[in-house]
Chains A and B, each alone.
Chain A
Amino acid sequence: MAITSIKNLKEFSTNNDRFEGAHTLCPGCAHSMIVRELMNCTDDNLVISANTGCLEVSTAVYPFTSWDTSWIHIGFENAATSVTAAEVMHKVRKKKGTLKDGDAPVKFVAFGGDGSTFDIGFQWLSGAMERGHDFTYICLDNENYANTGGQRSSATPIGATTSTSVAGTHSYGKKEKKKDIVSIMAAHGSPYVAQLAPNKWKMMAKGFQKALETEGPCFINTVSPCCTEWKFDPKDTINITDLAVDSLMFPMYEIIDGHELNILYRPKNILKVEDYLGAQGRYKHLFKPEYKHIIEKIQSDIDEDWARLQRREEARV
């Protein structure tokens, strides 16, 4: 495994991008920040798969590809399956000596949005995790079906308005809490799962490298702020990510072997969730007096979740 230096940004920047420009993701999209970082974390060969979603639909629009590595997209749900079957094929061909270069190091990576990860591809992901393939699955979590126009997914937080959980005079938006995908993946007995954010580039790069280096099925949920559907100015992608992690809406942590939880980032100054919510159009309605209690509920959920994470970290069980 040849990991690249992430000692500091100057060192990191000497890597040569293998994710090319002139893809058609929205200006300011965090997806490509995350993908670029993953691909710059290693100089190994990569076989990458993607579920249907913004990333897929914007990076392989015939006759163009933005991928300098092997890449495959089949359907909405099966990136985990296609890349892990390729991983098995690699083992077989290596054994049989039918690879063009059998010694070339290779890593297998699958990308999915939250819709394909939390919802439609959940079974395919779970199956691949259970079978124990050596691969890394990265969820680009923008908390909605952005590619189809911003519908709610089971990753959409309570209170967000989406095109299928519409806030109005009779509704505060999505009613249900976000699914805890990280714990579910940890419960598969995965050797490494984590939740990371692109604003903390080094932490994210470290996590990516750990996942790539760890043998077995690893899972990383990354927060990927979506200017189009969260409704903020594209220039603010990293600023919004700062608010997300500093308000603990997106705590950054890892779970090793299903139980050993480490909190990776403790904000010196924990922000009120209002600061995060107020910066996005999708939560605007919550600031009306009749929905104020939802903000309180979100804050109390965050406080409880943070307390629970800390207890889990302490308990190591």
Chain B
Amino acid sequence: MSVEQQDLKLKASENRGKSQLEAGFDLLGWDEVTQGSVLPSFDGDASNVAHQKAEEREYSDYNSYTATVASWRVQKPVFNIDVCIDCQNCWVWCPDSSILSRDKQMLGIDYDHCKGCEVCVEVCPTNPKSLLMFNEYTDLGDALASWPEKKKKEKK
């Protein structure tokens, strides 16, 4: 993982861990739940969220951004920045908003939101692929060390 990538990951995670979607929010009493079960997405002024990166926003505790579905995963995609061409196929087709792209560059995977569907790996066009699935518990360093070589075209 690059330094940049790690920084971003840290920023993205600041809000996390307060709540675990599956473990349940702090279960509040009737006098504490929101009126009308209405959920505000942000704490601060959100007029400009379309122009703010995730790490610049003031997410409320009610925003699922602050939650995690990591436990759904059995396999995880691992990203190899050395092979990536920043085509953004993985970004556009990720169903879980889990591809961390900033300034046209693919930087990594948001493992709190990734469910391990493998779509990103399927749509990755590089050779070898820049994203590959590994067992959830595989060490990232080990995964990168075992990255396959470029496949040669089969001779007919």
Measured CB to CB, the residues of A under 8 A from B are 9-25, 27-33, 36-37, 43-45, 59-69, 101, 104, 198, 201, 233-239
**Is B49 in contact with chain A by the CB < 8 A criterion?**
yes
Residues 102 to 127 of chain B near chain A (Cβ within 8 Å): 103-104, 110, 112-119, 121-123
The answer, among B39, B101, B118, for a CB contact under 8 Å with A28, is B118
Any A CB within 8 A of the CB of B93: yes
CB contacts (< 8 Å) of B115 on chain A: these are 27
Q: Min CB distance, A63 to chain B, in Å? A: 5
Complex contact A18–B49 (CB within 8 A): yes
Q: Does chain A have a CB within 8 A of B21?
A: yes
Q: Is A65 a contact partner of B63 (Cβ separation < 8 A)?
A: yes
Q: How far is the CB of A19 from chain B (nearest CB, A)?
A: 6
Interface size on B, residues (CB 8 A): 55
Can you add 4 more A-B contacts, CB < 8 Å, to A20-B65, A21-B96, A63-B34?
A: A14-B103, A21-B110, A33-B95, A60-B39
- A37 contacts B92, C-beta separation under 8 Å: yes
Q: State the CA gap A32–B92 with chains docked (Å).
A: 10
- Closest chain A CB from B71 CB (angstroms): 11
Cβ of B67 < 8 Å from any Cβ of A?
yes
| B146 contacts A by Cβ under 8 Å | no
A residues less than 8 Å from B104 (CB atoms) = 10-11, 13-14
18 A-B Cβ contacts within 8 A?
Answer: A14-B104, A18-B49, A20-B64, A22-B21, A23-B64, A24-B69, A27-B96, A32-B96, A63-B34, A63-B61, A64-B25, A64-B64, A101-B47, A198-B93, A234-B117, A234-B118, A235-B118, A239-B122
